[in-house]
Structure 1
Amino acid sequence: MERVSVSSSNIDSVGYDEYSSTLEIAFHNGSVYQYFDVPQQEYIALVNAGSVGGYLANNIKGKYRYSKI
């Protein structure tokens, strides 16, 4: 999945696959997580958020199924 770099102290880049509604988050420490059944508008809001990490914590984590890859 192609990811775009974001300005964040913890997150390196984020990607989104619109066909499977999968959000991929790569962290500076090398960890990569995929979140499933995420609406595209959540991805757009995440990329444009003033705090990408804050948006992830408040709107994605705990709301969508995920897997560490």
Structure 2
Amino acid sequence: MAKSFMPSISIRKAEYDPERKVLSVWFVASGKQYEFEGVPSETFAAFKAAFAKGRYFNDHIRNNFRYRLVASDSDHE
């Protein structure tokens, strides 16, 4: 089961699937959803606990895990 939270002004939502080790992140400004592969549960826990979630994401997740664009808000209009 995926865990989710509403983290910051730049990240609308994040969900984590611990079995697949996939972190899904939805961004506020672009409306895009990305999946990051191979994310350890410890990294998700630290991301969830971080005070500045956007900064944690940029420092520890972006460019550190393989990712793919899943969807954007415009895909659903």
Same fold (TM over 0.5): yes
Q: How does 1:6-25 map to 2 (within 5 A)?
A: 6=7, 8-25=8-25
The one-letter code sitting in structure 1 at the alignment partner of 2:36 is Y
| Unmatched 5+ stretches in structure 2 | 71-77
TM-score (ref. length: structure 1) = 0.90
| Unmatched 5+ stretches in structure 1 | none
TM-score (ref. length: structure 2) = 0.81
Counterpart position of 1:27 = 27
Runs (4+) of structure 1 moved beyond 4 Å?
A: none
The one-letter code sitting in structure 2 at the alignment partner of 1:5 is M
Paired residues in the alignment total 68
* Structure with larger Rg: 2
Overall identity of the aligned pairs, in %: 25
